[in-house]
């Protein structure tokens, strides 16, 4: 790692101030950022740990019925505390990385990084969630801008993610055998006004909504509605773990399994 200054503010206000400087970077749980720093692929002047800011941690229920997850909440906490209100989200969190990673990694860190194979972006997009920062509220559809790209500005901190709770939902992940990230992960969420399908791991453009499947499932929420339906291989990622055609195929398989498992 290159050398950097380190700050660990205990309030959001202090964190904003600390991040105001040149080349300062926020540190969530560090489960992706620290390995990146080890490879010397990032060179921040200053790292600002968000780990001591209590006001952005925790899971609660909003007045509108949405599940509100603080940006600094670990995956392990979501797995525990969202289980009653949003079991599909809790199950997703319970299978990110491994137990030790889940004890450090945070939702804010995950969606700020927007790894194209990360799990959370699929849930955020499929839930039509709202990403709340220290500056504004961003609708999920406006937030993800492609692989590792988001609508966040420099120094902007995710304080909360608000998930409208669906009637039924499920996340089905087919794991890349080495990293155990999603080779393809599909989050299906059924709301009163329609179904949303978020797909991660598959596309060169990062997480996306499979609108054809959404339309079919909104009309008929059954595996039959998406039977035989497949994404074209164009634009799918291709690497040593799976071709574009294989990923496109898995999008269909995982979508059907998510529909079947939705509860």
Partner 1 sequence: MPKDHEGIGAGTKRREDVRFLTGAGNYTDDINVHGQAHVHFLRSDVAHGRLKKVDTAAAEGMPGVIRVFTGADFEGVGGLPCGWCVTDRHGQPMQEPAHPVLAQGKVRHVGDPIAAVVAETAEQARDAAEAIEVEIEDLPAVIDMKAALEEGATKVHDDLTSNLCYDWGFVEENREAVDKAIKEAAHVTTLELKNQRLVANPMEPRVAVGDFNRGTGEHTLYTTSQNPHVIRLLMGAFVLGIPEHKLRVVAPDVGGGFGSKIFHYAEEAFCTFAAKAVNRPVKWTSSRSEAFISDAQGRDHVTKIELALDKDNNFTAIRTETYANMGAYLSTFAPSVPTWLHGTLMAGNYKTPNIYVNVKAVFTNTVPVDAYRGAGRPEATYQLERVIDKAARELGVDPIALRRQNFVTEFPYATPVAVEYDTGDYHGTMDVLEKMADLSGFEARRKESEARGKLRGLGLNCYIEACGIAPSQLVGQLGARAGLYESATVRVNATGGIVVMTGSHSHGQGHETTFPQVIADMIGIDADMIEIEHGDTANTPMGMGTYGSRSIAVGGSAMVRAAEKVINKAKKIAAHLMEASEADVELKDGQFSVAGTDKSVAWGDVTLAAYVPHNYPLDEIEPGLEETAFYDPSNFTYPAGAYACEVEVDPETGKVEIKRFAAADDFGNIINPMIVDGQVHGGIGQGIGQALLENCVYDESGQILSASFMDYAMPRADDVPFYDVDHSSQTPCTHNPLGVKGCGEAGAIGSPPAVVNAVIDALHSGGHKVDHIDMPVSPARVWAAMNA
Partner 2 sequence: MPQVSMTVNGKPASGDVEGRTLLSSFLRDTLGLTGTHVGCDTSQCGACVVHVDGEAVKACTMFALEAEGAEVATIEGQAAPDGTLNAIQAAFQEHHGLQCGFCTPGMVMSAAALLKDNPKPSEAEIRDYLEGNLCRCTGYHNIVKAIMAASGQDVGAIAAE
- Asked if 171 is part of the footprint of partner 1 (rule: CB under 8 A), the reply reads no
- Asked if 198 is part of the footprint of partner 2 (rule: CB under 8 A), the reply reads no
Those residues with Cβ within 8 angstroms of residue 245's Cβ, 6 or more apart along the chain or in another chain? 233, 236
| In the complex, least distance from residue 49 CB atom to partner 1, rounded to whole angstroms | 20
Which of 10, 179, 211, 222 is in the footprint of partner 1 by CB under 8 A?
179
Residue 249 binds: one of partner 1, partner 2, none (C-beta under 5 to 8 A by kind): partner 1
Q: From CA 261, how far away is CA 160, in angstroms rounded? A: 28
Nearer to partner 2, 35 or 224 (CB): 35
| In the complex, least distance from residue 254 CB atom to partner 1, rounded to whole angstroms | 9
- Of residues 97-136, those binding partner 2 (CB under 8 A): 97-101, 103-104
Give 65's DSSP letter. S
Nearer to partner 2, 21 or 224 (CB): 21
Q: Which residue blocks in 72-169 are alpha helix, DSSP H?
A: 75-81, 87-93, 99-102, 107-113, 120-126, 140-143
Cβ–Cβ < 8 Å for 261, 187: no
Strands across the sheet with 24-27, in order?
Answer: 5-7, 46-49, 24-27
Which of 11, 35, 141, 167 is in the footprint of partner 2 by CB under 8 A?
35
- Of residues 49-88, those binding partner 2 (CB under 8 A): 49, 51, 76
CA proximity to 9, closest of 45, 40, 41, 55: 55
Q: From CA 88, how far away is CA 67, in angstroms rounded? A: 12
- Asked if 174 is part of the footprint of partner 1 (rule: CB under 8 A), the reply reads yes
Nearer to partner 1, 163 or 171 (CB): 171
Q: Is 160 helix (H, G, I), strand (E, B) or coil?
A: strand
| In the complex, least distance from residue 201 CB atom to partner 1, rounded to whole angstroms | 13
Binding site for partner 1 (CB under 8 A): 1-3, 38-40, 174, 177-179, 239-243, 246, 249-250, 253
């Amino acid at each position: 790692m290159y050398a950097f200054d380190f700050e660990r503010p205990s309030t959001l206000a202090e964190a904003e101030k600390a991040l105001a400087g040149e080349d300062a970077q926020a540190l969530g749980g560090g489960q992706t950022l620290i390995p990146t720093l080890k490879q010397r692929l990032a060179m921040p002047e200053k790292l600002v740990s968000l780990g001591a800011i209590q006001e952005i941690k925790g899971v609660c229920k909003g007045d509108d019925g949405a599940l509100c997850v603080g940006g600094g909440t670990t995956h392990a906490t979501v797995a525990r505390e969202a289980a009653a209100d949003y079991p599909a989200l809790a199950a997703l969190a319970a299978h990110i990385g491994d137990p030790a990673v889940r004890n450090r990694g945070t939702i804010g860190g995950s969606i700020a990084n927007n790894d194209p194979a990360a799990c959370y972006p699929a849930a955020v997009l499929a839930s039509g969630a709202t990403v709340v920062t220290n500056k504004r509220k961003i609708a999920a559809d406006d937030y993800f801008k492609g692989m590792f790209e988001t609508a966040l500005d420099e120094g902007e901190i995710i304080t909360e993610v608000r998930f409208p709770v669906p009637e039924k939902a499920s996340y089905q992940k087919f794991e890349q055998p080495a990293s155990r990230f999603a080779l393809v992960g599909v989050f299906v969420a059924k709301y009163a006004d329609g179904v949303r399908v978020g797909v991660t791991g598959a596309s060169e453009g990062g997480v996306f909504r499979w609108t054809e499947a959404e339309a079919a499932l909104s009309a008929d929420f059954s595996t039959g509605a998406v039977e035989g339906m497949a994404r074209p291989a164009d634009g799918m990622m291709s690497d040593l773990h799976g071709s574009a055609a294989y990923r496109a195929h898995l999008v269909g398989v995982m979508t059907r399994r998510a529909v079947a498992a939705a509860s």
